[in-house]
Amino acid sequence: MNASLGTIFDIQRYSIHDGPGIRTTVFLKGCPLKCLWCSNPESQINRPEIMHDTSRCTHCGRCLEACPYNAIERCDDKIKLVRNLCQGCGECVSACPNEARQLVGRQEDVEAVLKEVEKDGLFYKNSGGGVTLSGGEPMSQPDFVHSLLKKCKENRIHTVLDTCGYTQLENWDRVLEYVDMILFDLKQMNTAKHKEYTGVPNELILSSAKKLSSLGIPMVIRIPFIPGYTDSHKNMEDSACFAKEIGISRIELLPFHSLCINKYNKLDKEWKLNGISPPSEEFLEKARDRFNAQGLNCTF
């Protein structure tokens, strides 16, 4: 694998929620988890894929003619993408006269990403910001992450790694010397429930959290606050105990939202959390106060 090439799906400038100061967040494609509440479903598959906006599609058939893989077919006078045949080449995107198709994900080399990141160097300097690698799961592309982080540090750019922790422990040894701060997602402490909600158990994740916390790198535990899934008193209590056990004092709650439903529709994916509402301010405050009562610094 070419360590200088990575698959990304977005670069978000002027980000203020992914670490200190004003940051540029680089979103990498690919994730070993399939969380029911995932707000970036376009990040899960590690290759480019097509989003199809049916509200803009006139079923003209030009995409069908352009596809070199026969991955588009006409059914009942409508156009359908056969996703297991699609190679994400983007030919259908170029052929569509209505901008109903969007290619999500592209390969970029380290120098190209660094060039984009450096555009906001003055903001980093004045605000204490820098670059954040997010996803998906950045550590699903450890070679590229290593190369990009190394380049950032050579250019004196503050680095943050936003991770779910699901990667082989030896992968951490390759990247951590170039990481200034870690945002660590901790979703569900019960491993059976974790597997039910995300597709994988949590033992490797907890082992990663223990390893990272032992190295002295500033670390914040982020907990997706999902009503009925992660917001129970038991999960909050167990999360607090684990954070204290591994020496982490900062907790950030990430309130559930359903703003991503449109993306699920465009990817022909099922949104399974219909009917769930975002947590109330009062409920979030109570959860925050429970963490703070245990000597932790919790925000949302």
Q: What pLDDT sits at residue 4? A: 87
**Which pLDDT band, with edges at 50, 70 and 90, does 134 fall under?**
very high
- 184 neighbors 209 (Cβ within 8 angstroms): yes
Whether the upstream peptide bond of residue 130 has omega within 30° of 0, thus cis, is no
The number of folded domains in the chain is: 2
Q: Rounded distance, CA 186 to CA 194, Å?
A: 10
- How many angstroms separate the first and last alpha carbons of the chain? 39
* 85 and 199 share one domain: no
Q: What pLDDT sits at residue 1? A: 57
For 49-72, the pLDDT digits (tens) are 999 999 999 999 999 999 999 999
* 288 and 184 share one domain: yes
The model scores a pTM over 0.85: yes
* 26 and 140 share one domain: yes
What are the CB-based long-range contacts (under 8 Å, 24+) for 99-102? Answer: 99/53, 99/56, 100/52, 100/53, 100/54, 100/56, 100/57, 100/58, 101/50, 101/51, 101/52, 101/53, 101/63, 102/50, 102/51, 102/53, 102/266
Q: What pLDDT sits at residue 3? A: 78
* 192 and 283 share one domain: yes
Among 81, 103, 125, which residue terminates a domain? 103
* 22 and 141 share one domain: yes
119: exposed, middle or buried (Cβ count in 10 Å: 0-12, 13-18, 19+): exposed
Q: What pLDDT sits at residue 62? A: 96
* 99 and 169 share one domain: no
Q: What pLDDT sits at residue 114? A: 97
Amino acid at 210: K
* 132 and 237 share one domain: yes
* 278 and 166 share one domain: yes
Among 103, 126, 147, which residue terminates a domain? 103
**pLDDT average, residue stretch 218-224:** 98
Give the CATH number, domain containing residue 226: 3.20.20.70
Least trusted range by pLDDT, from 74-83, 95-104, 244-253, 255-264 = 74-83
Give the CATH number, domain containing residue 95: 3.30.70.20
* 60 and 188 share one domain: no
277: exposed, middle or buried (Cβ count in 10 Å: 0-12, 13-18, 19+): exposed
Among 59, 87, 103, which residue terminates a domain? 103
Average pLDDT of the chain, as a whole number: 96
* 200 and 235 share one domain: yes
For 232-275, the pLDDT digits (tens) are 999 999 999 999 999 999 999 999 999 999 999 999 999 999 99
For 142-194, the pLDDT digits (tens) are 999 999 999 999 999 999 999 999 999 999 999 999 999 999 999 999 999 99
- State which residues form the domain around 67: 50-103
* Cβ neighbours of 194 (radius 10 Å): 23
* 79 and 111 share one domain: no
* 135 and 24 share one domain: yes
